[in-house]
Amino acid sequence: MMPNLDIRANRRQFCKQLAGAAAAMGLPGLALNGCSVNASDRILGGGKYLDANTGQLRYVLSVVDLATQKSQQLAMSFLPHGIDWHPQMPDRLVVFEKKGPHACEVDLNAMAISRQIATVPERHFYGHGVYAADNSVIYNTETWLDQRDGVIAVRDAATLEYLGEFPSYGKEPHECKLIQGGAVLAITNAGGGLGGEQPSVTFVDVKTRRLLERIELTNDKLNTGHLEIEEDGSLVVLSAPRIGLEQGGLGGVSLMPDGEAMQSVQQPLDVVGRMFGEALSLVTHQPTGVTLVTHPDGNMITLWDLHQRRLLNAYPLETPRGVTLSADQAVFIVSFGRNPAFLKIPTQVAARDRLLGQTAGEWQRGAVVPGTWISGSHLFNWSAPHRELGFPLPHLPV
């Protein structure tokens, strides 16, 4: 459980002045209390709650303004999982359910559902989708329910008309991200049970629909769930236990620095052994190369140096789930707790090896934003640009 923390709102300019003064004095910890939040930071995510009057489970899309700590909720018929916004019309969102028949378009300006998105009865949406680089179409992950074969559905971005599909080159695809200037789609395929099709990350040319590369993990007990691709082509993949191993199974983190082979982390045992269930959400701070990962069932977050393939720190936190960065890259924002809240962790603190847990008292004051309603798997910073679009393939040129 988190301690009862004092919640303070600081003006951004004051924070900058304080940070400069503290740095000049050699006291970086003094500049960390609740600082560095952009007035434009709007954090989106899904949530669910039990209606006290009816006893029914309700779902919302929640939008939190970090500067004011105010939130708005849009009632939904499903739990929002993946969210993407139109590159030229950012108030237009597409929202997808994880393993279900629901998806929709949202008008964020009006806080209203503008159109529903349907798939065929024999398939389910599998959590994520993305607008093409030229804004013409939407790509999203779907799965045939009989054999679990994965497809990438293609829909007209303006009309939402179904235009066709191409294979994900795996079973049960989940996350998809555009790289190589929008020419290549990176896809996580969770695979089947032990002895079945291997989980993988596949890279598909969206024009030719040709498989360019397939990467598998070194731990065959892990599926592939969410991923981050870095500016140099390095890859981080998060996992849950494979089908059939969910009860008491461990999730995991797999790292592939630029030019090296993929490797699923096995050490240190005291941390890896606490990765119960799924390693859920992640984000990398590009300037330092620090990747933050959430482990809800393990009640912890972990911080990794991707390029040195090592753990920086593990920090206890009640049911952490989504994570994103502030638009200025100064703060990690983590959703956590039974009563959904945000924890703000300055990225410069997180980057210092083994310092986060030792100096928690320096930055915890003013670091919690309560009442967010976001209890779902992910956070999305509506104010930040899409990161991966220009990033290269991990190994192969196009």
Tens digits of pLDDT across the chain (398 residues): 222 222 222 323 323 332 333 233 232 222 223 333 455 799 999 999 999 899 999 999 999 999 999 999 999 999 999 999 998 899 999 999 999 999 999 999 999 999 999 999 999 999 999 999 999 999 999 999 999 999 999 999 999 999 999 999 999 999 999 999 999 999 999 998 888 899 999 999 999 999 999 999 999 999 999 999 999 999 999 999 999 898 889 999 999 999 899 999 999 999 999 999 999 999 999 888 899 999 999 999 999 999 899 999 898 999 999 999 999 999 999 999 999 999 999 898 777 655 555 445 555 666 899 999 999 999 999 998 888 898 999 986 55
The pLDDT of residue 353 is 57
The pLDDT of residue 28 is 28
The widest CA-to-CA distance across the chain, in whole angstroms, is 64
Omega cis (within 30) before 394: no
DSSP, residue by residue, 31-97: G-TT----TT-EEEEEEEEE-TTT--EEEEEEEEETTTTEEEEEEESS---EEEE-SS-TTEEEEE-
Residue 196 makes CB contacts below 8 A (sequence gap 6+) with 171, 243
Q: Which residues of 6-36 are buried (b: 16+ CB within 10 A; e: fewer)?
A: eeeeeeeeebeebbeeeeeeeebbebbbbbb
- The first and second tokens of residue 351, run together, are 């980057």
The overall average pLDDT reported for the chain is 87
- The first and second tokens of residue 330, run together, are 């100064």
